[in-house]
Amino acid sequence: MNVDALNGRLLFAIPKKGRLHEKCLSILSGADIQFRRHNRLDVCLVLNHNIALVFLPASDIPSFVGKGNVDLGITGHDVILEAEMQDHVTEALRLGFGKCSLQVQVPESSPIKTADDLAGKRVVTSFEVLSGQYFGKLDEKFNLSGAQKTQIEYVGGSVEAACALGLADGIVDLVESGDTMRAAGLHAIATVLETEAVLIKSTIPKHPELSPLVELVTSRIAGVIAANKYVVCQYNISRDKLSAATVITPGRRAPTISPLEEENWVAVNSMVEKKKIAGIMDELVKIGAEDILIFNLDNCRV
């Protein structure tokens, strides 16, 4: 694509593959960001906004947003810290997907039981910076220096095989479901950090004239995320039990309460977390709520 075609457009970086890619495409669709991406092209123009999407490896996105001309990006919180870009980018939104843990792992049969036991030994990882910081503190704790310090070695893939193949005493790797870890005969002995997908922008805006568009995209994505997280709970309840009901369904800010024609009764509408809805309905029934209805959200603004 001609570079001139990108001039004056908001540049939005999206992971080109991996665990975040499909979910990002769903978010773009929900935010009504329309585009057609041609095969083998990593840049495409949005049809209904002054935006160009740039498809990049997730690990590169913090650097392009923090030091390049890219205005927005979606990547992992862990990737920002690994790239040491936390001073150059701002996390505009936590997106609630791609959640996993960066954990210290050793073979289940290993005599090493804690991260302290692994200090001074061999560790393989694709997260050199975060692992170096983590074990650097342990080396200081045990006064390890020179050849005694923990050896951190980088491997780009198949990190979980490093112990079985004799390359490491332990590894540091991302754990989502834990299936791969258990299949490799490993178990976690410490957690370095918890991570998830985040929407990031440059700490110092590259194109101030595009700030309204940045805010618009951020607001739309926040609405899509909230719609995936919440449902609307609607029910009827007598006024004398309303205070107890609003404790159960406080809403994101406050519930909407409307009088009914039947004396002393009101209708309540409230946003509640989808994962908690079964328990909330049970509690409402216990205090006398009736006609409890649940509505899924396609989109919203919060």
pLDDT of residue 2: 52
Answer with the one of 195, 214, 244 that is the final residue of a domain.
Answer: 195
Answer with the one of 173, 195, 217 that is the final residue of a domain.
Answer: 195
> CB-based burial of residue 214 (10 Å sphere; 0-12 exposed, 13-18 middle, 19+ buried)?
buried
Do 289 and 237 lie in a common domain? Answer: yes
Beta pairing partners, 271: 232
pLDDT of residue 1: 53
Do 202 and 185 lie in a common domain? Answer: no
pLDDT of residue 3: 59
Do 86 and 140 lie in a common domain? Answer: no
Residue 185, CA distances (Å) to 178, 179, 263 in order: 11, 10, 65
Residue 301 placed within a domain: no
For the chain, the average pLDDT equals 94
CA quadruple 241, 243, 249, 253: dihedral sign? positive
Furthest CA-CA distance within the chain: 81
Residue 113 placed within a domain: yes
Half-sphere exposure of 10 (CA within 13 A, CB side): 26
Do 137 and 53 lie in a common domain? Answer: no
Residue 223 placed within a domain: no
Residue 189 placed within a domain: yes
CATH label of the domain that carries residue 42: 3.40.190.10
Do 124 and 41 lie in a common domain? Answer: no
Do 10 and 87 lie in a common domain? Answer: yes
pLDDT of residue 250: 96
Amino acid at 293: L
Q: Would you say 72 and 201 are in contact if contact means Cβ atoms under 8 Å apart?
A: yes
pLDDT of residue 206: 86
Residue 224 placed within a domain: no
Do 71 and 202 lie in a common domain? Answer: yes
Which pair of tokens denotes residue 53? 């999407």
Do 201 and 72 lie in a common domain? Answer: yes
Number of domains in the chain: 3
Which pair of tokens denotes residue 302? 């919060």
- Angle, helices 211-229/21-30, rounded to nearest 10 degrees: 100
Q: Residue 154 is part of which domain span?
A: 100-195
Residue 213 placed within a domain: no
Do 115 and 246 lie in a common domain? Answer: no
Which pair of tokens denotes residue 34? 């329309």
Do 35 and 113 lie in a common domain? Answer: no
Answer with the one of 174, 206, 238 that is the final residue of a domain.
Answer: 206
CATH label of the domain that carries residue 240: 3.30.70.120
Residue 220 placed within a domain: no
Q: Strand pairing of 100-107 and 89-94?
A: unpaired
CA quadruple 117, 173, 222, 86: dihedral sign? positive
State which residues of the chain have pLDDT below 70: 1-5
Residue 66 DSSP SS3: helix
Q: Report pTM.
A: 0.87
pLDDT of residue 285: 97
Do 148 and 108 lie in a common domain? Answer: yes
136-195 tens-digit pLDDT: 999 999 999 888 999 999 998 889 999 999 999 999 999 998 999 999 999 999 999 999
Residue 225 placed within a domain: no
Which pair of tokens denotes residue 222? 């926040």
Do 17 and 62 lie in a common domain? Answer: yes
